[in-house]
Amino acid sequence: MRKLFGTDGIRGLANAYPVTPEVAYRLGRSAALLFKSKHRLPRVVVGRDTRLSGDMLEGALVAGVSSVGVHVLRAGVLPTPALAYLTKHYQADAGVVISASHNPFEDNGIKFFAPNGEKLSDQMEEKIEGLFFDTRSDKVRALRRDLGQVQDEAGAMEAYCQFALSSVPENLNLKNVHIVADCGHGATYLTTPRVLRRLGARVTVLHDQPDGRNINDQCGSTFPRAMQEAVTRLGADIGLAHDGDGDRVLLADETGRLVDGDRILGLCALHLQASRKLARQTVVATVMSNLGFERAMREAGIRLLRAPVGDRYVLEEMKRQGAMLGGEQSGHVIFREHHATGDGLITALQVLKVMKESGKPLAELKAFMKEVPQLLVNVPVRRRVDLSRLKAVRAAVERVEKALGQGGRVLVRASGTEAKVRIMLEGESQAEIETFAGQIAEAVRKSV
């Protein structure tokens, strides 16, 4: 069982264990030792988002990597999916991004990419932890000319922007499209406006003045209201809102109504199906995706498979099934033809491509499904909990499942990124699921 890594790397309060400079240094050493290749210039690409603690953690991690003789390419502030791409682009032995995604600024995190640009498997993270806790590895030190060098990679941002542009046809022209882009004061504040403007779009940018403390602060995909209101106020064609590290996006149609990951997946799947390009007639979502989305896909003749929460689990299922499209309700969408991880900018570009090719506005494209009432409740807890051992919680869930029958669903899980238990209910009555959610939440509170 992993001691440091959660569902998406290591994450927590910055400068408190395990997100400390000391841990970052040892992680840098451990990962570099694990991935260090035999060629002459082993190297790791490192990037970060805009958090105040990013410099501190980056410095420690870079020191750890270079201390064992591995070179470092510092890419600067870039979205997480950019680091995934650049790891492969620069033929690096690994990639590292320092970010806590949608969490508030006081949190931070560290996640790794394999040489192919994919997030690490559970097994690889366990190997890093093995080296991390094995004090014998402390004896490995590079000396004299064998020390790793640190280089700032000035072309990293442009390389990523060109990569994002390559995901759409060269003749895609957004000249008459007005886009509101909320960058959440995060890692996309330069890249997303630059790419959209190169395609000819008129772009109104919100929240692109990061100061280290304002990332995700009442803005971005966690708080999309400002983006929605700007779309309606300005009469824009579409709005998009990123999270802090840019691996997800939520949209707003031309009326300002929110378009989540389920609807993004569905409208893209239907467009691909119509052009006979939907691989295996299959879409991979997670256990969180709305029951209404599942029903709409079934009616269209598209198979929907569910994976555990976490885009790497979605990707694993996509690879097993030969699917090329998958993602999460949160707006974390993977177009495997273009990228090996969720990329909010590429996702937005694919939706814009569908709008241009179909000639339909987003409000019409998203109207393929009727959502089943869904409720998500987060219960704060003091520590990670094994829900399978909480008898009272299991009993409460079983009672609710019996009451809902075939018309609803219950999902209770411990968050892999925060000290919370997440309770999701679906059913035909909003009032009913609110009551049931309260009962399960109370059982959780009494049990932990």
Query: What are the pLDDT digits (tens) for 280-291?
Result: 999 999 999 999
Superfamily of domain 160-258: Alpha-D-Glucose-1,6-Bisphosphate, subunit A, domain 3 (3.40.120.10)
CA–chain centroid gap for 436, Å, is 29
Which run of H or of E encompasses 428? none
CATH of 259-348+360-365 given 3.30.70.141, 2.40.170.20, 3.40.120.10, 3.40.50.300 = 3.40.120.10
Mean pLDDT of 91-95: 95
CB neighbours of residue 247 within 10 Å: 34
How would residue 189 be classed by pLDDT, with cut points 50, 70 and 90? very high
Q: Reply yes or no: is the peptide bond before residue 18 cis, omega within 30 of 0.
A: yes
Query: What are the pLDDT digits (tens) for 344-361?
Result: 999 999 999 999 999 999
**101 an active-site residue?**
yes
**CB-count exposure of residue 255 (10 Å: 0-12, 13-18, 19+):** exposed
Catalytic position from the list 53, 101, 167, 221: 101
pLDDT value of residue 214:
98
Measured CA distances, 27 to 13, 107, 329, 357 (Å):
17, 18, 31, 46
Domain with CATH 3.40.120.10 in the chain: 10-158, 160-258, 259-348+360-365
Exposure string over 114-151, b if 16+ CB within 10 A, otherwise e: beebbbbeeebbebbbebbeeeebeeeeeeeeeebeee
Of all residues in the chain, the percent with pLDDT exceeding 70 is: 99
Domain with CATH 3.30.310.50 in the chain: 374-447
Mean pLDDT of 195-208: 98
**Topology (CATH) of 374-447:** TATA-Binding Protein (3.30.310)
pLDDT value of residue 36:
85
Superfamily of domain 10-158: Alpha-D-Glucose-1,6-Bisphosphate, subunit A, domain 3 (3.40.120.10)
DSSP 88-140: HHTT-SEEEEE--TTS-TTEEEEEEE-TTSPBPPHHHHHHHHHHHH-GGGGG-
Query: What are the pLDDT digits (tens) for 352-389?
Result: 999 999 999 999 999 999 999 999 999 999 877 788 88
Helix axes 391-404, 430-447, angle to 10 degrees: 170
